[in-house]
Structure 1
Amino acid sequence: MDTKRILSALCYFSIMYAGILFPLVAYLASDDGEVKFHAKKALLSHLIPLIPMPFILVAVFLDFTGGTGGFPVLMFSIGILMVILSFIVLVWNLVKGIKVLTIN
């Protein structure tokens, strides 16, 4: 098995154990163009679930300072969106990691 393919696949699989750190280190430390390409793709895909974070902060502010005292619907719905997005990104990274390992 080729070392650069294993390192590239580990960049994708790192969503389960090292998050943003492993692809960032692989991108900065590697001289190989293929590893850098996959590390950059993995790093960007690891950042996708963080996109709704500012919306959650705004929703928390709106739901808890609105004074209605009801169920925080906006915060809850954005939280569900974030969980679904995280699951999709997890599956996508696993598929891409397996593809990198199985390509001839």
Structure 2
Amino acid sequence: MRQLLSSLSYFSIFFAPFLFPIIVWIVAKDEYIAGHAKRALFSHVFPFLAAIPLLYFFITAHSLASAIGFVVLFFVIYGLSFVYNVVKGIQVLREYY
């Protein structure tokens, strides 16, 4: 059960990226589950935190090429975060006590 809840925190990027890890983190009494829920929440939020400076640079960009570059950079960061969550969810699901 520990692995299932922990991996669902990472896999929630498919169905409830922010809501599910927050609920698990608050409700879980087990440190193992709460720790994975906290890491999953951060990995879901990180691309959007990284988008704040990218949005500033996008707005102040003086050329279309640099603006497109910033958009591509955001999608690369989001894609890497997405892959990280899937890989980490599988790793946690395969762990044994």
Normalised-by-shorter TM-score class:
0.7 to 0.9
Q: Which residue of 2 aligns with 1:83?
A: 75
Larger Rg: 1
Contact 2:11 2:89 in 1 (8 A): yes
State TM-score, norm by structure 1. Answer: 0.81
Answering whether residue 3 of structure 2 is matched by residue 5 of structure 1, we say yes
Partner residue of 1:34 out of 32, 35, 59: 32
The Cα offsets for residues 1-58 of structure 1, whole Å up to 9 and x where unpaired, read as xx12111000000111111111111001111111001001101111111133222432
**Given the superposition, is the C-alpha separation of residues 97 and 53 from structure 1 closer, same or farther in structure 2, using an over 3 Å criterion?**
same
Moved over 3 A (4+): none
**Given the superposition, is the C-alpha separation of residues 87 and 61 from structure 1 closer, same or farther in structure 2, using an over 3 Å criterion?**
closer
Partner residue of 1:43 out of 41, 44, 55: 41
1:86 maps to a residue whose letter is: Y
CA RMSD of aligned residues (A): 1.6
The alignment of Structure 1 onto Structure 2 pairs a total of residues equal to 96
- Residue aligned with 2:33, SS: helix
- Residue aligned with 1:52, SS: helix
Name structure 1 gaps, 5 residues minimum.
none
**Percent identity over paired residues:** 31
- Residue aligned with 2:60, SS: helix
- Residue aligned with 1:31, SS: coil
CA distance in 1 between counterparts of 2:55 and 2:3 reads 39
Name structure 2 gaps, 5 residues minimum.
none
State TM-score, norm by structure 2. Answer: 0.86
